[in-house]
Every structure is written in structure tokens, then in C-alpha cells.
Amino acid sequence: MEKKFMRRADLITSIILMIGSIGMFAMSIRLVLRTLEKNRDWYQSAGLFPVIVSVFLFLCAISLYRTAKRDGANFKFITLENTKNFILSSEFKIASTIIGLIAVYIFGLLPIKWLKYEYSTFIFLSGFMFIFNKKDVKSIVKTIIISVIATVMLTYGFGQLAMIPLP
Amino acid sequence: MENLVNFINAFIDLLSINVILLMLASTALGVIIGALPGLTATMGIALLTGLTYNVPLEYTFTILMGVYVGGIYGGSISAILLNIPGTASAAATALDGHQLALQGKAETAIKVTRFASIIGTLIGVLALALLAPPLTNIALQFQSTEFFVLALFGVLICGSIAAEDLSIKGWIGGLIGLSLAFIKIDSIEGVSRFTFGNPNLLSGISVIPAMIGFYAIPEVIKAFTNNDPLEVTEAKDTSNEKINVFTTVMKKFRLIVQSALIGIGLGALPGVGEDVAAWVAYDTAKKTSKEPEKFGKGSYEGAIAPEVGNNAAIGGATIPLLTLGVPGSPPAAVLLGALTLHGIRPGPMINIESPGFISQIAALILLAVFALWIVGVILAKPMSKILKVPKIYLMPIVAALSVIGAYAIGLSMFDLTMVFIFGVLGFFLSKMAYSPAPIVLGLILGGMIDDSFRRSLIAHNGSFSSFFTRPIALLFLVLIVFTIAKQLFDNRKQSKSKV
């Protein structure tokens, strides 16, 4: 990633980290107070170390924010035009397609009780390869053959050879 | 001497047909995994940990150590032939290795790096066999205070060294890892912490699914977003210059010893591992060479140093893993998960609870060295073809393997959710130049750091005195303060020079 874009991302990340660390600090302090309410010593509390970590995380987030600002990043880049360009960029499209495919496999196909592991894996593999491959007959046949072989190997390797109950 | 005898005995005990064949196969698999860009030794070990869940202990670690040694070496092949390091630890090898290939010396370069890798691994394994057993005796003296400062130092130094962009990002990664480790029922107070009422989180985030997410899924995504065409150089010499590989490598004896010591030392630092060892070995070789001007233009020294360094780091990284339960590198971190799965508890008690296990692991690495020799010769030529496997077919299989590999460990659909979450998180973090190593190390060591910190305070009635009165704890505390101060000083100097 280009340094200019990296620092913009750092600026956003630093804000997320600051919010996250404040949230963590609040929850950790509540754990410490609960320990004290039970008349236990402060140093036994489950919240003690998270308090320390959240403080350091907040300090690091501030340092990241300052570095990003020092290198010229600001919030002016958050415009409708830039957001549109980002969403329409090929990298974003490819990344979100793959993330979507994996999400469909994990949360959509595998939990279906009547659809066996081998079928859901074949659908995932062939779908994945088909989307990114050329759409001619040779490539489609290759996709199907490789998907079948990979599915059989995964099912046999984990289900039979390693004797692991498949999802 | 006794340790050396135990090591040799363990090696002789290993020599059965099953183990030898399995080692050859797994080392070959490791070389292929390491050579293919996007697949790493860490990922290979993480995926195979699931597959070996029901396999007997001896065979499990034969497979995992074979993949580890093969994977670290394999990266150099694609570094030479493609100028793309198959693993991050081979990035430094690409600088001179690929130049040699362009000069028509690809086959010789592969042979030289293979021999260098074998020597590096051998020196590393000797260090493991000889140093680890006495270190466990020292570690037996460790109390909570020492474990706290040692583990904290590990996360901090890993964050400082592994950071690709700003060092602060390495520390943020470590702190994120620690925060993730807090999610579970607290072992001291017995209250649930940051679980948000989700019963799946009560036992904490499983390390292996998280590592599969962090190391495998981002690579699958990146393989398609980086649309670089691969130009594979054939693994044969076209140059008329004939070079004796043995003499070329052995003439650099000082360089080998220097790089091996760097590899072992950096490998033994928690979480730092092979990648950094290779770069430091390369940089030091350049600084101490009589011909530094040849570096980057096809110098054999430039190819030998990182390969000796990263392979010696295997033995180095295994030393703290077995003696302290603190992994020295990302692949060693996965091994820690695999050890726990198979009921081995690494740490000071390992010689008492699992006698002979350290020698067994050292013997397995030694066997992997011989396997690497054989497999390396066999695979050298066909590697050009293997490297041409299109990512369109390979990466979806890696994704499916990641899912089933993570599921196999706990047979839990929730682990798959973890793979997905950490995969997506890992992708975005890698785009922003956050190394996964400190996050993973923080996740692994977070429990130890938190528990040891409070146990130490409980043992001393809330007093911090033990951190300053116990010599080893004080030493690490000084190192922690020094690391932070040096980083802050460097940052200030950098920002002043910009102004």
C-alpha cells in the first residue's frame, strides 16, 4: 500500500483502537470493582492486567494517530467520491468476493444438515474456481475435474485416513 | 556429553521404515508448501495439525517437523527461480539467489542454498540437543515473576522486530493479541471475562483456528488481489562456469558459523523466528564480507548466509518452545498448539513429565536434514513445473483445507467462525502492514503473562518487589525498558530528521 494511503488507514485504525481501548478499560475497571466488592485484594482481579493493556493500547493508538497526522494524513479524504472509488476498485471487489465465498461455505453450506460435507466442498471449490477462471469449455471441465479430485482427497484424507468426523 | 548420547540414542530409536518414509514424504510436502508462493511453513504445520489429530504422537511430530524443515528450505527455491520468496524467511535469499539464476546458475544456486540449509539445520539441531536439557534445569528455578517478564519481553521484542512499517504497529499487534487472550473464564478468579455471554468463548479462543485464519485466509485473498504473472526460470545451469558446491559452501566456514549463531540466537528469542534471522544473517554477511559490492548482484555469500540463518533458527526456536513453553517463531507457535493437543506440556517440567522428548524432537529434526538432502535432489528439477500450478486451482483448495483443518481440531463449528473472523481481520491488518507474528504470540502468551503477573503479586501480598529483587526478572525488566526507550528514541530521531 502506498504510504499516503497507509497513513490514512492508520488514522482510521487509531480512532478504532482508541474507542476499543476505552471500551476495554471500562469493562476491566468494572471487573476490578466487582473484585473489591467481594472483599478480595485488588491484585487478584481478572480485570487488573486488562486495565494495564487497555491503557497501553490507548497510548499506542495516540502515537499512531500523531504519526499519521505528522505524515500528512487527515480526515478530508473521507468523501463520497473516494468511498465510491474504493468500493468500485478491483482489489475491493476481488477481496469481498473471496470473503463472501468463504462466508457462504462456512455459514451457508456446511451447516446444512442434509447436504454432506463432500457436496458442500465441491460446490465451494467449483464455484470459487469458476468465478475466477476463464469461461471457456476447457477451463470449466478442468475446474470440475480438479474440484472433484480435491473434494475426494479432502474427504478421504480427513474422514477416512485421519478418522475425523466431517462437519 | 550425556545429552549428546541421549540425542544419538533417540536418533537410532527413530530409525524404522515407517518413520523414514513418513519423514521423506512430509519433508517433500514441506518443500513444495514452502516453495509455492502464498503457502508458508506456518500455514502447512497449522493445516496438518488438524489432519494428524488422531495420529500417534511419534508419527505426528515426524510429519510436523518434516514440514517445518522442508517448508523453511522450500522458500528458497521460488526465491531463486521466481524472485518471489515462497516464505518470508527466504526473502533475503531472493536478492542474490535470483541474480544467480539470471546469470544461468539456477541449478548451482539451488544446490548451494540446499547445502547451506542442511548445514544451518544441523548446527541448530546440535544447539537444541545440547542446550535445551540444561536450560530446563535452569528454568526449573523460574517462578511466576520470571515467566511474566520473559513472556512480556517476548511479545514486546517480537512486536519491535517483526513490524514491517512502524514499530508501534508491532506493539499494537502484541497488545491486540494479549487482549484476545483475555477472552475466557479467568483461571484465578473464576469469572468470565469479555465473553459477552457466548458459551463458546468460555474456554478462550482456540490458537490453531486463529493461526489458520491469520496465516492462510489472507494469503488466499492476496493471491487474487496481487495479479502478478509468474515468470519461472528453469532449474538448470546455462552458464559454462562449473562450480563445486561443497567447496564453495565450506570455503565460507566463518560465514556459516556467524550466520548459524545469528539464526540460533534470534530463533531463540520469543516469536522472532526464521524471517528476521535470515535478514540479520544476510545484513551481517554483507557488512563482514571482503566483497560487499557483489551482494545483490549474484553473490554466493548472499545466498548462503540467509539460508544458514533461517534454518539454524529452527533449532533455536525449538529451544524456548520445549524448555519454557514460549515459542521462538510462528511455526514453533503452531507446534506449541500441536504439543498441547497431544498431551505434551512444554516447559521446565518436560524432562520429568515426558522424559526423552527433547532428544526425540532433536532426532526428528536431524532425520529431516537427511530427508531434505534426498528430497531436495529429487525435487530440484521438477520444481519449475510445480511452481507453475495456477493459483486459480491451488488457492480454493487451500481455503477448503483451512476450513476442515480448523474444524478437525475441536470438531466445533464455532472454530470455523474464528477462522473466518481472523482471516478477514488478518487480511486487512496485513494490508496495513501489521505482522501477524506479535498478534499470535500475544494470543498464545497472554494467559501466561496475565496469570504469572497476578500470581507473583499474590505470592508477595501485592508487592512489586519480586520484579526488582530476583536477578533474572530484573535482567528482563531492564531489557524491556531498554527496548521501549530505544524505540521511542529512534522514533523521535526519525521525526526530528523529517522536520
B431 falls within a domain: no
Share of chain B above pLDDT 70, in %: 97
Reply yes or no on whether the pLDDT at B498 is more than 60. no
Q: What is the mean pLDDT of residues B368-394?
A: 87
B335 falls within a domain: yes
> In whole angstroms, what is the distance from residue B418 CA to residue B416 CA?
5
Cell triple for residue B401? Answer: 483445507
CA angle A59–A64–A69, rounded 5-degree value: 125
Q: B78 falls in which pLDDT band (50, 70, 90)?
A: confident
Q: What is the mean pLDDT of residues B154-166?
A: 79
Q: What is the mean pLDDT of residues B335-344?
A: 88
Q: What is the mean pLDDT of residues B43-57?
A: 84
Cross-chain Cβ contact A105/B400 below 8 Å: yes
CA distance A75 to chain B (A): 17
Q: Which residue has the higher pLDDT, B23 or A72?
A: B23
B339 falls within a domain: yes
Compare all CA atoms of chain A with the CA of B171 and give the residue at the minimum distance.
Answer: A60
Number of domains in chain B: 1
B87 falls within a domain: yes
**What values do phi and psi take at B193, rounded to 5?**
-130, 125
Q: Which residue has the higher pLDDT, B92 or A29?
A: A29
> In whole angstroms, what is the distance from residue B331 CA to residue B354 CA?
22
Cross-chain Cβ contact A24/B175 below 8 Å: no
Instruction: Supply the range of the domain harboring residue B342.
Output: 2-143+207-413
Cell triple for residue A124? Answer: 465451494
Cross-chain Cβ contact B225/A91 below 8 Å: yes
Share of chain B above pLDDT 90, in %: 42
B192 falls within a domain: no
B443 falls within a domain: no
Reply yes or no on whether the pLDDT at B355 is more than 60. yes
> In whole angstroms, what is the distance from residue B30 CA to residue A73 CA?
43
Compare all CA atoms of chain A with the CA of B419 and give the residue at the minimum distance.
Answer: A106
Reply yes or no on whether the pLDDT at B401 is more than 70. yes
B27 falls within a domain: yes
A-chain residues near B221 (CB < 8 A): 94-95, 98-99
Q: Is the dihedral of CA A58, A61, A63, A65 positive or negative?
A: negative
> In whole angstroms, what is the distance from residue A34 CA to residue B195 CA?
16
Q: What is the mean pLDDT of residues B311-337?
A: 91
Helix boundaries (H) for B140-216: 144-162, 167-181, 207-215
pLDDT digits (tens, 9 = 90+) for B113-139: 999 999 999 999 999 999 888 888 888
pLDDT at B56: 87
Share of chain A above pLDDT 90, in %: 69
Cell triple for residue B138? Answer: 535452569
Cell triple for residue A69? Answer: 497526522
Compare all CA atoms of chain B with the CA of A26 and give the residue at the minimum distance.
Answer: B194
Q: What is the mean pLDDT of residues A77-104?
A: 90
pLDDT digits (tens, 9 = 90+) for B404-430: 888 887 888 999 999 999 999 999 998
A41-44 CB contacts, 8 Å cutoff, 24+ apart? A41/B458, A41/B462, A42/B462, A43/B454, A43/B457, A43/B458, A43/B462, A44/B188, A44/B189, A44/B454, A44/B458
pLDDT at B229: 60
Choose among B396, B413, B433: nearest Cβ to A129: B396
Most A CBs within 10 Å, among B144, B208, B397, B427, to test the A interface: B397
B181 falls within a domain: no
